[in-house]
């Protein structure tokens, strides 16, 4: 699809047809962490695979177009990004990791607004479109990210994004590190809120705290099947196994996916090895993969304005991160298998390198060589 048309579609796309994402994290028997996510959207998007080496200089944007915080990255960053359309020349790192095992995911959160700040003070503005590169470029752990955001040293603000309906960046920000620690950063009601993530799962709206409270309604869930019982004098027995999942939501709305993901993270068998853990994670994420027309919504103006037309969210890509081995796995909509990027083998790259996601597929499973080739 023409890139300009994609942006036009984004301008008219209703927010209820946004990024329907499911992000989660598991650990193996040794406590090593692995995180991943599926990203769903109703139209193709101009995503890129980007590598940003250490010592890259970045200048963010302040409100009204003024220069914001300037910083230099200390760690290499790899992941899926997109041009936010702000004219800074820097991609928004949406689904990325650094070479220290710290990762970010961005899931849609409708109703996000910029915090209010006092006019005094020396803190500089950071557009949240640069939050991923700022955090991953400077820090190793979620604890360090949290400390920086809570210190008041920066003023995070939400620019309006054409790519998301021209609303103030309607996202919350999910961080995991190699210890398995996680936080969720949200900008609602004029303030910044940072949650610890005790379940290793994030979907979309409502706010993260609401989802944690909602899990109380599913305290009955267990992975233990009940295969026999009675109705009066009639003895009954299940014909096969699997009824433990009867209470797990089947709906693909945010609340249902959160509970479903929490269930899988809780009960999936812990792997013995990194390879087994990555395979386990991929199987879990398959439960959230969508093909076209599994769920459809009324069409919107960008599709011609015909009220009889429909829009269907589909999984544009799935990605995973093996934090101990610094590996990034990516599977795009047209692929059956994952392309592997080994971050530690990209250290020779001394400039920012970008490759459109449309050019990455399982016909070239060695993503490391793809980036090295572009960097030449």
Q: For residue range 19-61, list pLDDT tens digits in order.
A: 789 999 999 999 999 999 999 998 888 899 999 999 999 999 9
The Cα–Cα gap between 132 and 154 comes to 14
State the pLDDT at residue 65.
86
Question: Which ranges of 13-141 would DSSP assign to H, the alpha helix?
Answer: 131-138
Closest CA to 11 of 285, 230, 308, 300: 300
SS (H, E, C) 93-123: EEEEEECCCCEEEEEECCCCCCCCCCCCCCC
Which residues lie across from 156 on neighbouring strands? 126
Q: What is the pTM of this model?
A: 0.92
CB 299 within 8 A of CB 308: yes
Question: For residue 245, what are the CA distances in angstroms to 238, 258, 268, 319?
Answer: 14, 14, 13, 25
State the pLDDT at residue 18.
61
Q: Which CATH number fits domain 3-375: 3.10.450.230, 3.10.580.10, 3.60.60.10, 3.40.50.970?
A: 3.60.60.10
State the pLDDT at residue 88.
82
Domain boundaries along the sequence of the chain = 3-375
CB 169 within 8 A of CB 158: yes
- Note the pLDDT tens digit of each residue in 198-217: 999 999 999 999 999 999 99
The Cα–Cα gap between 102 and 182 comes to 10
State the pLDDT at residue 12.
37
The Cα–Cα gap between 112 and 267 comes to 33
The Cα–Cα gap between 265 and 102 comes to 19
Question: For residue 331, what are the CA distances in angstroms to 121, 226, 335?
Answer: 45, 36, 6
- Per residue of the chain (376 residues), what is the pLDDT tens digit? 343 433 333 333 444 446 789 999 999 999 999 999 999 998 888 899 999 999 999 999 999 888 999 999 999 999 999 988 888 888 899 999 999 999 999 999 999 999 988 777 778 999 999 999 999 999 999 999 999 999 988 999 999 988 777 889 999 999 999 999 999 999 999 999 999 999 999 999 999 999 999 999 999 999 999 999 999 999 999 999 999 999 999 999 999 999 999 999 999 999 999 999 999 999 999 999 999 998 887 755 444 344 556 678 899 999 999 999 999 999 999 999 999 999 999 999 999 999 999 888 877 789 999 999 999 8
State the pLDDT at residue 306.
47
Angle of helix 142-150 versus helix 131-138 axis, rounded to 10: 120
Number of other residues whose CB lies within 10 A of the CB of residue 24? 31
State the pLDDT at residue 84.
85
């Amino acid at each position: 699809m023409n890139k300009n048309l994609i942006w036009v579609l984004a301008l008219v796309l209703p927010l209820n047809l946004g990024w329907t994402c499911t992000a989660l994290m598991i650990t193996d028997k040794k406590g090593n962490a692995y995180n991943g996510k599926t990203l769903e959207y109703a139209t193709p998007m101009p995503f890129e695979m980007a590598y940003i080496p250490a010592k890259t200089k970045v200048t963010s944007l302040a409100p009204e177009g003024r220069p914001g915080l300037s910083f230099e990255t200390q760690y290499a960053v790899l992941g899926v990004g997109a041009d936010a359309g702000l004219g800074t020349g820097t991609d928004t790192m949406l689904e990325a990791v650094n070479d220290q095992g710290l990762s970010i995911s961005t899931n849609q959160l409708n109703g996000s607004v910029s915090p209010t700040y006092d006019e005094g003070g020396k803190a500089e503005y950071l557009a949240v479109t640069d939050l991923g590169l700022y955090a991953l470029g400077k820090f190793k752990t979620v604890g360090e990210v949290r400390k920086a955001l809570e210190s008041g040293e920066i003023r995070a603000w939400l620019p309006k994004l054409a790519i998301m309906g021209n609303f103030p960046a309607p996202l919350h920000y999910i961080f995991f590190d190699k210890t398995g620690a996680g936080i969720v950063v949200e900008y609602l009601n004029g303030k910044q809120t940072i949650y610890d993530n005790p379940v290793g799962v994030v979907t979309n709206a409502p706010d993260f705290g609401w989802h944690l409270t909602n899990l109380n309604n599913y305290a009955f869930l267990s992975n233990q099947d009940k295969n026999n019982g009675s109705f009066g004098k009639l003895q009954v027995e299940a014909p096969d196994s699997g009824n433990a999942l009867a209470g797990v939501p089947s709906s693909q709305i945010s609340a249902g996916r959160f509970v479903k993901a929490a269930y899988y993270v809780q009960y999936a068998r812990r792997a013995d090895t990194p390879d087994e853990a990555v395979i386990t994670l991929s199987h879990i994420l398959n439960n959230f993969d969508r093909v076209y027309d599994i769920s459809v919504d009324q069409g919107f103006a960008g599709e011609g304005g015909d009220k009889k037309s429909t829009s269907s969210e589909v999984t544009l890509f799935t990605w995973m991160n093996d934090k101990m081995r610094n590996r990034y796995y990516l599977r795009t909509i047209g692929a059956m298998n994952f392309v592997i990027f080994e971050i530690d083998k990209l250290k020779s790259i001394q400039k920012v390198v970008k490759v459109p996601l449309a050019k990455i597929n399982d016909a070239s499973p060695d993503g490391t060589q793809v980036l090295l080739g572009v960097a030449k």
